[in-house]
Amino acid sequence: MAKSNDFVVIMAGGIGSRFWPDSRVAKPKQFLDILGTGKSLLQMTYDRFKQIFPKENIFVIINSMYESITQKQLPDLKKENLLKEPMRRNTAPCIAYACNAIVNINPEANIVVAPSDHIVMKESAFFDSIKRGLKFVKSHDALLTLGITPSRPDTGYGYIQIEEEEREHGIHKVKTFTEKPTLEIAKSFLKSGDFLWNSGIFVFNVISMLEAFRTYQPEIHDAFEDIRNSHTAYLDEKVITNAYSHCTNISIDYGVMEKAKNVYVIPARFGWSDLGTWGSLYEHRDKDYLGNAVQGKNVVIYDASNCMVMAPDQKLVVLQGLEDFIVIDTGDVLLIIKKSNEQEIKDITADIKRQKGEKFL
């Protein structure tokens, strides 16, 4: 079989703070069986890509503190395909690290970068979009993203405005990026019909992305020079730590995609969710006749509706009179919050860190 130039980088270094208290620093949501399938979100993502990519071309990038749990959950992932970040610096340094590692392995590499904690309900449609994207970047100097056709005016997503004219079948040039708009602006985006949700899934040729870093993030580009010029340095802890110490904390969206002139998008529908919040998980859970999504063998409900409930099987939890609430009991932490206020969970965890330290995080 001919050697494939197509690679995948799965980003699995986040801490999933909006899924607190189930997601903790020691074991974030990508390592949890949040959907109740018997597999973690990371395992589901890895298995999905393994269907269309050779496993030797699948890389996983993590914070170094998750090395042990990643190896346990992905036992067939080769050691040299596990990229370990020494510190959190957001997605731009993460993607730069992966590109500089892979360019030495294959300078013709076409790379898909995807988060480890997203849901894809329609895999065949997803694979079709990925394959079309790879075909496009093989023959164009392009940074491509997958845009999701929005179903509602959601304020939790970034939006991509597209040019009406197609460059190739189903592929459009990007006009603008907008991060998490107000509800009124999100409604106007939906009405206009030329905005998509930003999925955070990217496709590009490695040389195109390295050139984009050189142009728009020269400090990050230069920080990885030692890795770029060696076949093995990408696995050297000291070299990686030195590189990251020179990187700013910035996302690939702000750092590169919003600045570059060669950004394209494929509008897609493949049953996608970024599972960013308890509310998004609620949408994917089976519900009772009152709209409650319940996980826990001893949850008893009286006159409560449209709630997201998670509790240990051995614990009796009684709900009465609640509507549109999130109730998460992990044994040492009980969270009760209105669904409409769940964006505040990040602020709550910051307060808890100040008041209680990191014991409950």
pTM equals 0.92
Instruction: State the Cα–Cα distance between residues 208 and 143, nearest whole angstrom.
Output: 7
Q: In the prediction, which pLDDT does 297 show?
A: 94
Alpha-carbon separation of residue 168 from 94, 125, 146 (angstroms)? 30, 18, 15
Q: In the prediction, which pLDDT does 183 show?
A: 85
Q: In the prediction, which pLDDT does 106 show?
A: 95
Q: In the prediction, which pLDDT does 95 show?
A: 98
DSSP string, 301-320: EES-BS-EEE--TTS-EEEE
Confidence label for 179 from pLDDT (cuts 50, 70 and 90)? confident
240's tokens = 């990686």
The two beta strands, 334-338 and 325-329, are: antiparallel
Q: In the prediction, which pLDDT does 246 show?
A: 95
On the question of pLDDT at 306 being above 70, the answer is yes
Terminus-to-terminus CA distance in the chain, angstroms?
A: 47
Selection from 105, 88, 112 nearest residue 209 by Cα: 112
In the chain, where the domains are located: 6-273, 279-356
Q: In the prediction, which pLDDT does 3 show?
A: 84
Instruction: State the Cα–Cα distance between residues 209 and 9, nearest whole angstrom.
Output: 14
Residue 41 identity: L
Residue 75 DSSP symbol: T
Residue 133 DSSP symbol: H
Q: In the prediction, which pLDDT does 178 show?
A: 83
Least confident of 115-129, 216-230, 264-278: 264-278
Q: In the prediction, which pLDDT does 233 show?
A: 84
The percentage of residues in the chain with a pLDDT greater than 90, rounded to a whole number, is 73
On the question of pLDDT at 2 being above 70, the answer is no
Selection from 162, 157, 150 nearest residue 191 by Cα: 150
What is the number of other CB atoms lying within 10 angstroms of the CB of residue 50?
Answer: 14
What's the mean pLDDT when you consider all of the chain?
92
151's tokens = 């179903």
On the question of pLDDT at 1 being above 60, the answer is no
Q: In the prediction, which pLDDT does 318 show?
A: 97
Q: What is the mean pLDDT of residues 64-93?
A: 96
Q: In the prediction, which pLDDT does 290 show?
A: 96
Q: What is the mean pLDDT of residues 72-90?
A: 96
Confidence label for 274 from pLDDT (cuts 50, 70 and 90)? confident
Q: In the prediction, which pLDDT does 153 show?
A: 82
On the question of pLDDT at 108 being above 80, the answer is yes
On the 0-12 / 13-18 / 19+ scale of CB atoms within 10 A, 37 is exposed
On the question of pLDDT at 168 being above 80, the answer is no
- Find all residues with CB under 8 Å of 235, minimum gap 6, and list them: 80
- For domain 6-273, give the CATH number: 3.90.550.10
State the angle between helix axes of 91-105 and 206-216 in degrees (0 to 180), rounded to the nearest 10. Answer: 130
Contact status, residue 29 vs residue 43, Cβ threshold 8 Å: no
DSSP string, 1-49: -PPP-EEEEEE-----GGGTTTSBTTB-GGGS-TTSSSS-HHHHHHHHH
Q: What is the mean pLDDT of residues 105-119?
A: 95
Q: Which of 156-170, 188-202, 252-266 has the highest mean pLDDT?
A: 252-266
